[in-house]
Amino acid sequence: MVEDSTAVVEETSSEVDLDALTETLEYIRPALQADGGDLILLGVEGGTVNLQMVGACGGCPMSTMTLTAGIERILRDRVPGVTGINAI
């Protein structure tokens, strides 16, 4: 799924290191999958990464905490150019 979205990302962003973004999302993904969820990269606009939480993560009341305290923090630390995330 990420591979399909990456083509869109490359067209819309020149600020975010896309290789580092893809690698970091693959690093995060097993933790989400262990709880029955996953994420889909929808694209990047400027420094904002647009993600969709799916599976158990899509309806989880803690998904906001997962996004801000977990995923956003990791992306900001590991991916040059990321300034925030937007969950759609």
pLDDT in tens, 14-53: 589 999 999 999 999 999 999 899 999 999 999 999 999 9
Rounded-to-integer distance, Cα 24 and Cα 62, Å: 21
Residue range 46-86, pLDDT digits in tens: 999 999 999 988 888 888 888 888 899 999 999 999 999 99
Tell me what pLDDT residue 57 has: 85
Tell me what pLDDT residue 84 has: 92
Class of the 2-87 domain?
A: alpha beta
pLDDT higher than 70, residue 2 = no
Q: Are 81 and 16 in contact (CB under 8 A)?
A: yes
Given the structure tokens 């992306």, which residue do they identify?
75
Alpha helices in the chain, H assignment, sequence order: 2-12, 18-34, 56-59, 63-65, 73-78
Tell me what pLDDT residue 58 has: 83
Per domain, the residue ranges of the chain are 2-87
Sequence-distant (6+) residues with CB within 8 A of 45 are 12, 13
- How many percent of the chain have pLDDT more than 90? 59
